[in-house]
Amino acid sequence: MAHSTPQLPRIRILATGGTIAGAQIAGERGYKAAAFSVEALIAAVPQLTALAQLDVEQVAAMGSQDMDEATWRKLATRTQAALENPEISGVVITHGTDTMEETAFFLNLVVSADKPVVLVGAMRPATAISADGPMNLYNAVAVAAHPDTRARGVLVVANDEIHFAREVAKTNTTQVGTFASGHRGLAGLVHAGRLHLYAPPVRRHTSGSEFAARPPTGETPGPRRALPRVDIVYAHAGMGRELIDAAVQADARGLVIAGMGDGNLGAVALAAAAEAAKAGVAVVRSSRAGGGVVERNIEVDDDGLGFIAADELNPQKARVLLMLALTRTRDVRVLQQFFFTY
């Protein structure tokens, strides 16, 4: 009896650039991100053909330090379109590592689908000794092609680890183990394409997200209007009020404080933030500490000043959620609930 090989799942790879596609410059120290096409990345990993049938699409070609809302929206549109194609089982997005956590969290909130979306990058350029991109890409396709990775939200794969978009953060400037998920832990492990999955996420995401209104086919998921301006201000000893005042002058609708310790500001900056809140700017207290929960009314009178506590989100993730939340409301009590929900 003929044994037909089971149809391999079809995975769409959306490429945006980054170090995974980077090339070193002969005779120089550095490298250029986004130097290689997605076709070249795939050609470097012939073993991918045993995992999935691959479609490819070059959505952008940039270092992710240049990532912006327009590219986010284009990526969200192309991801949504791929996931709505019944022949596509999942999406892999190749992306720079600098802002990967922000893009992943944005897609986690606006893409309306249960099929897996996996972001993948690299810390060493494709031409480096022991480049980490090829194995990361192989593992990312294995995760996207696996039947059990549905309904876990957007994922990030790096260094044999599977991270939830909400939990992951880049924690080191150069090491291949840069990504960490300090609060609620890993989504699982993946070694040479073999997966070990842990518990699914508990906060709302993708098709459970109220920001992921299913768009008409081919349209951009997420809010129709441009996202409101939200700035991040990094707190430090002896901080003045100038940067907070400048954000308000620049018509920021929201302000995320990368606060000292438990989301704190010194008295001068705190007064400026209180004035901003009184003027209608949504002020969210996050922390520069790199871990831990910022709770309400511990050292700062959030109730009295009309501030919002970021809960578990780091400043860059708090900014993503606040931009989306501000398309719904400016009521600080409702905004606070978004930070307890997503």
- Distance in Å, CB of 17 to ligand DAS, minimum: 6
Are 104 and 165 in contact by the 8 Å Cβ rule? The answer is yes
- Distance in Å, CB of 266 to ligand DAS, minimum: 32
Assign 3-class secondary structure to 124-179.
CCCCCCCCCHHHHHHHHHHHHHCHHHCCCCCEEEECCEEEECCCCEECCCCCCCCE
Is residue 133 a contact point for ligand DAS (CB under 6 A)?
no
What number of chain residues touch ligand DAS (CB under 6 A)? 11
Q: Which is nearer to ligand DAS, 96 or 193 (CB)?
A: 96
Q: Which is nearer to ligand DAS, 125 or 215 (CB)?
A: 125
One of 79, 97, 181, 209 touching ligand DAS (CB under 6 A): 97
Residues 6+ apart with CB under 8 A from 125: 19, 22, 23, 24, 31, 33, 35, 131, 133
Q: Which is nearer to ligand DAS, 33 or 144 (CB)?
A: 33
- Distance in Å, CB of 183 to ligand DAS, minimum: 23
Closest to 181 (Cα-Cα) out of 204, 205, 153, 155:
155
Active site residue 220: no
Beta bridge partners of 336: none
The 3-state DSSP class for residue 284 equals strand
Q: Which is nearer to ligand DAS, 41 or 260 (CB)?
A: 41
Is residue 33 a contact point for ligand DAS (CB under 6 A)?
yes
- Distance in Å, CB of 140 to ligand DAS, minimum: 14
Q: How far apart are CA 10 and CA 18, in angstroms?
A: 24
Is residue 94 a contact point for ligand DAS (CB under 6 A)?
no
**Site map for ligand DAS, 51-70, x if CB under 6 A?**
------------xxx-----
Taken in order 123, 315, 111, 142, the sign of the CA dihedral is: positive
Residue 6: count other Cβ atoms within 10 Å of its Cβ: 6
- Distance in Å, CB of 180 to ligand DAS, minimum: 15
Q: Which two tokens stand for residue 275?
A: 């004035």
Q: Under the rule (CB under 6 A), what is the footprint of ligand DAS?
A: 18-19, 33, 63-65, 96-98, 121, 123
Residues designated as active site: 19
